[in-house]
Structure 1
Amino acid sequence: MNKKFLCLYSLTGPILLALGGCAETVQLGGDPKLEVIDANALPAPGRADLTGGTQPYFVGPYDKLVVDVFGIEELSEREIQVDASGRISFPLAGVVNVSGMTPGEIEQALAERLRAAYVRDPQVTVNLKETVSRVVTIEGQVKKPGLYPVVGRMTLMRAIARAEGTDEYSKLDDVVIFRTVGGQRYAALYDLDAIRHGAYSDPDIYANDVIMVGDSRSRRLFKDILAGMPALVTPLVIGIDRLTR
């Protein structure tokens, strides 16, 4: 890898800095599924664009649900938490295993149980109030690391935005997604800056994924050098630091 060197002079003598890469203009596009158009030609989305592309939500342990049975006050607005084994208990329906079911499937299961308990034409509505089981872990150089719920479709850029974005020490070409499928653990490396500019598609993120944003050691070193340099050369150092981002 080619290195770019810059010699700065302070009151104590020359300082040689190695920069990780040269300043260059990032081009928009490259992803074959992306069409780059003029700014004033960007079309407005239709109804299908705004409602499509969502992922179904599967209920898991410790999720909180709100269940309503239309016309029966005693069975309405009942807040229920799924237990550790993925089950809920509901009046007249008894204990129901709901782990891995969508809210719509839970509605059907409860309605069948209520009909069996001689409730006439039960109309059941199940809404998700709080999710605990379906979360993504975002770690590393983001402003707010932590666990974030995955409701609907989430992509890498959306996940980073939920963590309030990258910070000044983020290494954008060193973003790793860890995922376990069928007991096998996988890891994939992504360049967030290239994704932001449309060079690659924005990958989907799923529950239980772990996103790790890398740390730029050279930027930390540059910051330390900047802190110890005289004020006369500080503007120049800041300018070069921006070129290395």
Structure 2
Amino acid sequence: MLSFGAFRGVALLVAVSALSACAGSRALGGDAGTQVVVGNELPPPSRVDIVGEDRPYLVGPFDKLEIDVFGVEELSKKEVQTDASGRISFPLAGVVEAAGRTPAEIQDILRDRLRVAHIRDPQVTVNLKETVSQVVTVDGQVREPGLYPVVGRMTLMRAVATAKGATEYAKLDYVVVFRTVQGQKYAALYNLKAIRQGAYADPEVYANDVVVVGESYARRLFRDFISIIPLVTTPLVVALQN
């Protein structure tokens, strides 16, 4: 039977061995489309770069819209919600198929219908108030798992950051994105650490995607050993942080 001292030595050896796979460094860059520059030499973005990543938002079921018809008090600041089929009902305009359309497209439909209803030159504004249909699920080893709205362009790094980042137990080289395309289910494995280092491009994620950040059992095992062995040495803690 092992003494406590012998058990402690074996336990630390197992912990260090389990962590050895996480050690090592990776060169920055590698993706053919990514240019690595020195520290403060990144060029500033242009106006096109800043606004060019926006993706038109498509309204879906149970989304909330705020519709305003300028100068018509009874049609101003009205909050409407799409039903399960993605339709809305608006006074004088009737039922509008909103699902799959952008707020700007809904705006045009309402303006045309109100003009037919004898409202002279209606100035209609449609804004997205709240979205529940266009969301991405972020789960696994992130600080705040949940459903997050996809408004504009969303990437894998942004999705994880939206969930307040990865936890200390996250396995950054094992991040899975699940997606369904025309009934076919897909799963893709990504290395978030490599993406952060520019080894390859940050992939885009879309509404209805599920992002799962894997768990590093070696890190959790090491933390468990720390909790039961108070005399752990500093170098092992440094190895965990690296």
**Distance across 1 between alignment mates of 2:229 and 2:239:** 14
Report the counterpart of residue 233 of structure 2 in structure 1.
Answer: 234
Report the counterpart of residue 4 of structure 1 in structure 2.
Answer: none
CA contact (8 A) 1:61 1:86 kept: yes
Report the counterpart of residue 92 of structure 2 in structure 1.
Answer: 92
Relative to 1, partners in 2 of residues 1:22 and 1:102: Cα closer, same or farther, differing over 3 Å?
Answer: closer
Q: How far did residue 226 of structure 1 move?
A: 1.6
Q: How far did residue 229 of structure 1 move?
A: 1.4
Within a 5 Å distance, the mapping from 1:21-60 to structure 2 comes to: 21=21, 23-60=23-60
Pick the structure with more helix per residue: 2
Pick the structure with more strand per residue: 1
Within a 5 Å distance, the mapping from 1:138-149 to structure 2 comes to: 138-149=138-149
Report the counterpart of residue 75 of structure 1 in structure 2.
Answer: 75
Deviation sequence 1:16-58 (CA, Å, 0-9, x none): 2223426322221111111111222211111111110211100
Three-state SS of the structure 2 residue aligned to 1:56 is: coil
Alignment TM-score, normalising by the size of structure 2: 0.92
**Distance across 2 between alignment mates of 1:218 and 1:210:** 25
- Which amino acid letter does the alignment assign opposite residue 47 of structure 2? R
- Which amino acid letter does the alignment assign opposite residue 74 of structure 1? E
Kindly report structure 1 stretches of 4+ aligned residues shifted beyond 3 Å. none
Deviation sequence 1:184-239 (CA, Å, 0-9, x none): 110000000000000010000100000011111121111111212132x3323212
Report the counterpart of residue 179 of structure 2 in structure 1.
Answer: 179
Three-state SS of the structure 1 residue aligned to 2:28 is: coil
Percentage of identical aligned residues:
60
Q: How far did residue 11 of structure 1 move?
A: 6.4
Report the counterpart of residue 12 of structure 1 in structure 2.
Answer: 5
CA contact (8 A) 1:226 1:234 kept: no
**Distance across 2 between alignment mates of 1:109 and 1:219:** 56
Three-state SS of the structure 1 residue aligned to 2:32 is: coil
**Distance across 1 between alignment mates of 2:89 and 2:22:** 62
RMSD: 1.5
- Which amino acid letter does the alignment assign opposite residue 30 of structure 1? G
- Which amino acid letter does the alignment assign opposite residue 71 of structure 1? G
Alignment TM-score, normalising by the size of structure 1: 0.91
Q: How far did residue 102 of structure 1 move?
A: 0.3
**Distance across 2 between alignment mates of 1:11 and 1:237:** 19
**Distance across 1 between alignment mates of 2:230 and 2:205:** 45
What 5-or-longer segments of structure 2 have no aligned partner?
A: none
CA contact (8 A) 1:226 1:237 kept: no
**Distance across 1 between alignment mates of 2:104 and 2:173:** 40
Greater RCO structure (CA 8 Å; 6+ sep): 2
Q: How far did residue 130 of structure 1 move?
A: 0.5
Three-state SS of the structure 1 residue aligned to 2:233 is: helix
**Distance across 1 between alignment mates of 2:146 and 2:233:** 35
Q: How far did residue 178 of structure 1 move?
A: 0.2
Count of paired positions: 233
